[in-house]
Every structure is written in structure tokens, then in C-alpha cells.
Homo-oligomer: A and B are copies of this chain.
Amino acid sequence: MGDLQDQQFLHSKLGTPWSDGTEGVTQCPILPGETFIYKFVVDRAGTYLYHGHYGMQRAAGLYGSIIVSLPEGVSEPFSYDYDHNIILSDWYHASTNEQAAGLSAIPFVFVGEPQSLLIYGRGKYNCSLSTASGIAAGVCNTTNPECSPYSLTVVPGKTYRLRIGSLTSLSALSFEIEGHDMTVVEADGNYVEPFAIRNLYIYSGETYSVLVKADQDSSRNYWATINVVARKPATPTGLAIFNYYPNHPQKQPPTVPTTGPLWNDTTSRLAQSLAFKARQGFINTPPVTSDRVIVLLNTQNKIDGHFKWSLNNLSLILPQTPYLIALRENLTDAFVQDPPPDGYDFANYDIHSVAKNVNATSSNRIYRLRFNSTVDVILQNANSMTVNNSETHPWHLHGHDFWVLGYGTGKYNLSRDWRKYNVVNPIMKNTAPLHPYGWTALRFRADNPGVWAFHCHVESHFYMGMGVVFEEGIEKGGELPSSIRGCGESEGHHRP
């Protein structure tokens, strides 16, 4: 699984910020052969993810789900007969070391689109060559049952809760089950007001629960598919079989699997993002105003000839000494103490064009937030270094859920666009997409003492600097465990 490994748990980890698993932020790397125990209170039921958070280790497959059960005597506000967990991912033939080396090289070498899409860890390669029709794409005729696609067996008439998480390196996905509506009921561990969809857009780092009723013709099977959206696809449809008992689980559906919605139909994706509301009876109302607004301009840049991603022209490089240790022990030379900027040159920056000057600066500065204050973050998208191209970035905040106040297109207007916010029943999440040429407005309470990464969940983007770090209430909480030490200025080498 590579040489070093961390874990990122998508929980709040209130009181145990050293269990967040972010190398360089909350701990030193875990060396080969070492053991590191993450211990934290799971404070809310729901569907979560964990994965390696060092270099590009996640892309090598170091990930999984965490399902937190409801306390005894409490039940979900919706009903279903069975509960299944499905991770979606993409897969490359190039090793993550190769990929990372390319990203750091001059000239820049980008691995590009994945070779396969995986459902439940299963996918196919090169099967599209076997037929022209595409029916066999991703399935291939084979006599080896170990190469067969994932098959979800359902009993006619029963309702299934599918807990779907995406841990793709790169790809935004559209997931659908042929001929079946899905009702969304949970997102990132929060209940949402149920609504029916034909396809679910899901971005890396997100989780959703959908309810699906096996109410179609039970004499056949159906395709479950994933397709790339938001980037021009070069990867075949990922396939699984929605198997009606007692048909053979591997019996091919009689239909051609969908190739999904138009990859560049941003409007449809934005509309789905806007459709989510907190569930009635479970609304956690946000503070009406905030104490601070931080606008983060998302740009692709160059630094000394290397390709980078930046926020307000600063590209994140994590320090040798993890922030959590440096801040607790006042190691002021561990990183630059000046804060990064709260905004960019709003008046003059043209988000619809390649920047006139694409050069940026490397930085390890952090945002220090007043404990218990309310913070708004406006993510502002822009043109990349390619003409007429703006990418989709799923932004993930550690240690908190945020309210998703709104999404919009074009340049966010500070004096006007806050009027578009939903402050009545906004959904809470820990990951939200920033759509091409658009903005996403988030609000959170800085109420979790510690240091927390906030970054684009595309593996290569974070690797190339697309993140910031928040600190709040660092002086609070218990003693740091020695297990997080052993690098930079943090003394000693930890032993498990």
C-alpha cells in the first residue's frame, strides 16, 4: 500500500484532534511496520469514509467506509428492509508513485482519465474492444466468476437502503440504476428532505443514502452504472448488476447500459446540488450572520515551472512539523506565522479567462479562527490554465460539518449574493462541490479545538497545493499523544 500511511476519518473528532489522520496537519507519517491507533468518539450515526491522507496513497486503494449505527431505541426517520454499502472509485494502471512523480515533474505529466471505474471494487479493462455495441463493455464474457461485476441481489417488493460513497481520485460520477427511481435520504451523515432522482451526481469524498424499491419486472436483471461527468470522459461506464432474486446474479440485463448524462451539463449538476434541503424535524438552523468571511479563489498556477493549484494565489505545502504540535508547543519557526489573505483582487480578476499572470507562491500559512466564532467560506471558481476550462472541485472540511448556504454561477458579489443564501433549512455536509465558473458558500462554527485541513478532494489537486488549514481553540483539550510525534521538530521517534 506504499510506504507510509495515515487515516482520515470524516467525523468531528471533538476533543481528539490528533485522531484526524492528516499527515503534516495533525500528526507525523506512520512509518512502514508501525501501528497507529485512532481513538475518537463517534458522535453521530451515519455513513462515513476513511482513507490514507499522505501523498497520493488514497489513490492506491487505502480506503473504506465507517457505518455508525443509531443508539439503541432510536430509529431512522425512513424505513427500508435491507442496508447495503457501496464504494465507488476510479482505477489507474500507473502506480501512485509514478503519478505523483509526473505531477511534480518539469514538464508536467498528468496521468489523465482513469483506466476503469469501480463499483464495490470491481471493474473491467479493455473489454470495450470486444464488441462494437458497448454492451459487453465492462463485463467481458469470461468463464471466471472472480472477474464478474458486483451483483446486488434484491428480493422483489423489498426496499433497499444503499449507502453510496465516492473515493475516486479524480472523477465526478453519475450513478443510476436502470429503470429505478432513488430517493435520497442522507448526505454525509445528515438527514436530507427526501426527494426522488433518476441519477445521483456524487463527488469524491461524499456519501449518500438512497432508498430503492425493487418494484420493476422481476423476471430480469438491471444495470447499475457509473459514468464520468464534469470532465470529458475517456473511461468506459462502470457496471454492476441489480439482480432480482431468483434470477442468476450474473445474468446480463437485456439492455444496453446507459452512458449517463452529458458530461458537460453543468446546469443539471448545479440543479441537483441546489435541490438538497435539511430534513423537516432534523433542521439545525445556522447562525443568521457570520463573524468572518473568507473568499477563496481557486486557480491553477505555475511555481518555478511546476504546475500547482492555489487559493488566493497561495499553494499549500505542508510543514515538516505537524501544525498541531507546532502550535501547541509554540514552535514558531515550523511555519510562516503571517496569515494568508481573506480574499483576492475582486475588482480586477477575470474568473472567465486564463490569468494574465499564472505565477503563484508556495505557502504553509494558516487561518487562525476565533474559537466559537461563525465563519463563512466562499469558494470562487475560475478558468484554469486551459482556455475555456474550469474544473469541478469537491471541497472537504475536516473536523466539522458546514451548512451549505448556496451555489451560484459567475463571480460572487459580496454585497449582493448573500441574499441568495438558504438560511432556513440548509443541508449540513463535510464535502461540497464547487462547480465550473461558479461559487459555493459554506458556513461553520469554529467550535472544535484543533487544526483542520480544508481541501479539494481530487487527489492530484490536493497534492498540487489545493488546500488551506484552519486553527481554532488550539490551547484547549488534552495532552497530545506521543504517537503523533517523530518528524520535523517534534522530538523523538514514536514507537507503537
A interface residues, Cβ below 8 angstroms from B = 35, 37, 39, 82, 143-146, 153, 155, 245-246, 248-250, 496
Give chain B nearest CB distance to A486 CB in angstroms.
Answer: 18
A82 proximity list for chain B (CB < 8 A): 146
A35-B39, A82-B146, A145-B246 given; 15 more Cβ-contact pairs under 8 Å: A35-B37, A37-B37, A37-B496, A143-B155, A143-B245, A143-B246, A144-B155, A145-B153, A145-B155, A145-B245, A246-B248, A246-B250, A248-B248, A248-B249, A249-B249
Q: Which residues of B lie under 8 Å from residue A37 when comparing CB positions? A: 35, 37, 496
State in angstroms the CA–CA spacing of A248 and B146 once bound together: 15
Q: How many copies does the complex hold?
A: 2
Q: CB-CB < 8 A to A250: which residues of B?
A: 246
Instruction: List chain B residues, Cβ under 8 A from A496.
Output: 37
Please name all residues of chain B whose beta carbon is closer than 8 Å to the beta carbon of A145 when the two chains form the complex. Answer: 153, 155, 245-246
Question: In the complex, what's the smallest C-beta–C-beta distance from A248 to chain B, in angstroms?
Answer: 5
Q: List 18 A-B contacts (CB under 8 A).
A: A35-B37, A35-B39, A37-B37, A37-B496, A82-B146, A143-B155, A143-B245, A143-B246, A144-B155, A145-B153, A145-B155, A145-B245, A145-B246, A246-B248, A246-B250, A248-B248, A248-B249, A249-B249
- Residue of chain B at shortest CB distance from A250: B246
Chain B residues whose C-beta falls within 8 Å of the C-beta of A248 in the assembled complex? 246, 248-249
Q: How far is the CB of A443 from chain B (nearest CB, A)?
A: 36
Residues of B within 8 A of A35 (CB): 37, 39
The CA-CA distance from A154 to B153 in the complex, in Å, is 20
Q: How far is the CB of A213 from chain B (nearest CB, A)?
A: 16
For A249, list chain B residues within 8 Å (CB).
248-249
Of A82, A146, A245, A496, most buried by chain B (CB within 10 Å of CB) is: A245
Tell me, rounded to whole Å, the shortest Cβ–Cβ distance linking A42 to chain B.
Answer: 13
Q: CB-nearest residue of chain B relative to A249?
A: B249
Q: How far is the CB of A162 from chain B (nearest CB, A)?
A: 15
Question: In the complex, A343 Cα to B322 Cα: how many Å?
Answer: 64
Least CB separation from A248: chain B residue:
B248
Give Cα A441–Cα B82 distance, bound, in whole angstroms: 52
How many Å lie between the Cα of A35 and that of B145 in the bound state? Answer: 38
In the complex formed, the residue of B with least CB distance to A156 is B143
Quote the shortest CB–CB distance from A24 to chain B (angstroms).
25
Residue of B nearest to A143 (CB): B155
- Complex Cα–Cα for A146 and B155 (A): 10
Chain B residue at minimal CB-CB distance from A153:
B145
Q: Look across to chain B and name the residue whose beta carbon is closest to the beta carbon of A154.
A: B145
Chain B residue nearest to A81 (CB atoms) is B144
CA A245 to CA B37, docked complex, whole Å: 42
Residues of B within 8 A of A246 (CB): 143, 145, 248, 250
A207 to B143 CA separation, bound complex (whole angstroms): 30
What 3 A-B pairs are tightest by C-beta distance, nearest first? A145-B153, A248-B248, A145-B245
Give min CB distance, A212 to chain B, whole Å. 16
**Complex interface: chain B residues within 8 A of A153 (CB):** 145
Whole-angstrom distance from the CB of A143 to the nearest CB of chain B? 6
User: Residue on B with the closest CB to A243?
Assistant: B145
Q: How far is the CB of A194 from chain B (nearest CB, A)?
A: 25
A298 to B51, CA, bound (A): 52
Q: Which residues of B contact A144 (CB under 8 A)?
A: 155
A243 to B153, alpha carbons, bound, how many Å?
Answer: 17
